[in-house]
Each structure stands twice: as C-alpha cells, then as structure tokens.
Amino acid sequence: MKINGTEFELGAHTYVMGILNVTPDSFSDGGKWNSLDRALKHTEEMIRDGADVIDVGGESTRPGYGDILPDEEEIDRVLPVLTAIRERFDIPLSIDTYKSAVAEAALKAGAGLVNDIWGFRYDSRMATVTAGYGAACCLMHNRKEPVYENYPEDVKSDLSESVSLALEAGVEKGQILLDPGIGFGKTYKQNLILMNRLEILNELGYPVLLGTSRKSMIGLTLNLPPEERLEGTLVTTVMAVMKGCAFVRVHDVKENKRAVQMTEAILAAERG
C-alpha cells in the first residue's frame, strides 16, 4: 500500500496512525487541537513519538452525535491544517470523513488516504472520488442499529459490500484497508466479541486497521472517563498486533508505539 508515496509493508508490521481532531467537540480531545498552531505542534509531537500516518478529522463522529456538519464548514476546519502539515512535515496524511466534497478537497490538499466511517455506503461519490485521485482508503463497518442475524459474520458481509463499491469505482485492491468499526453500530458485548475475533476479518483478504483508542467499550469495562482509558487502549493494541492488524489508530502515539514494538519483539523471538 502506498499513502502519499510512502510504501507500507502490510503483513510484516503493525503501523501507528495518530489521531488529529481539529474539532471543538470530539468525545476525547475536543477543542485541544482546533487552532492551526496547536494542531501543528501536536502533529510534530506525534511524528516524534513514532506516528506512521496522521489522520485529520474535522467533525465529531461519535455515536449519537447530533447535527451533520455542513461540507463547507468541515472543509474550512481541515484544509488549512492539511495544507500546513504537507508544507512542514514529511508524513503520510489521512482524511477522516464520510463526505465526498470534503474528501475531494482534502485529497487536492495532499491527503493520501480516505478514512470513511460508513465504508463508502453513506455518500455514493466517495468511492469514485477516492479512485480518481489514486488514493488509499479505510472502509469502516457501521450500521444505524446494532441488529444482526448472524453476528459477526454479518460484519464481514457488510464490509464485503463496501469493498465491492470501492473496486467497482476503480480503487486498487492493494489500496484498501478494513476497519471493524468498534464502537459503531454495535452493543457493548458485540464490541467485545468482535475484539476477540478480529482475525475473522483477515478472511476477507484485506489488511485491517483497528480503532479503539479511548472508546466507550474501554470506558464501560473499566468505568473510566476518556482521558483515563490509556491502559485499556494498550490492551487492545497488543491484541491487534497478535491478531495481525496492519494499523492501529490512536490518540497516545508514544505509548501505543512502544506496546506494538514490545509485542512484535515477543512474537518474533520464536520465529527468529
């Protein structure tokens, strides 16, 4: 997979995607990085701590969130940040959006990956826009309601539909990541079950990105607020490495990077 010209050797290593929310109302760090100077400083910190990709988001997408942000307002939030990062740092960039207008503006500004929480199933133009720029994509599983006939096989089926949309639009097979969508369209128990069975997504033949950082699954398990969910997040990162995930998407880059390195060293010892 190539993102902004950087090649990622998927299957041999778990990469770290750092989260940059330029929103006033994100569930975990809303308002902390929604000025250009603070966003750039945090980007520099994440790069120093070992981030392989920076994922920029301009709208809170937490479950139960209220009104949808207008395209132009979302573009106004992310474009200056994306442009400034591209000018100052040599780091692959992802745009976290489910809207084709925002994705296109971000790709023009230099993003190399589209991270869509609806897996190209919300906006019919998303797949075409992504393919048109030769970009990579992350297709996340999501449903409006956590109702399934055969869970988690239904998750695989939904993701297969997302993959078909991408391929039919011309996205290259090697440019597709899948995200199980922990915390989206699933009950607390369903999230835990899918975490324990992440390896079933490998059966689809595409690399997996896991995004669990500070999410409600961890908060409900440990009875902790978002800012105290690091240890729980690290457990899920270790599991991601053990189950062959290609990426983890996290807020706390340094700590998760170390967890990845330690887990990979342990797993490599017997192979070596």
Distance of CA 138 to the CA centre of its chain: 7
Q: With beta carbons less than 8 A apart as the criterion, state whether 15 and 245 touch.
A: no
Q: With beta carbons less than 8 A apart as the criterion, state whether 218 and 239 touch.
A: no
Q: With beta carbons less than 8 A apart as the criterion, state whether 18 and 253 touch.
A: yes
CA distance linking residue 41 with residue 78, whole number of Å: 15
CA distance linking residue 139 with residue 101, whole number of Å: 17
Catalytic residues: 215, 249
Q: And the tokens for 176?
A: 């597709």
> What residue has token string 């199980």?
180
- Three-state SS at 11: coil
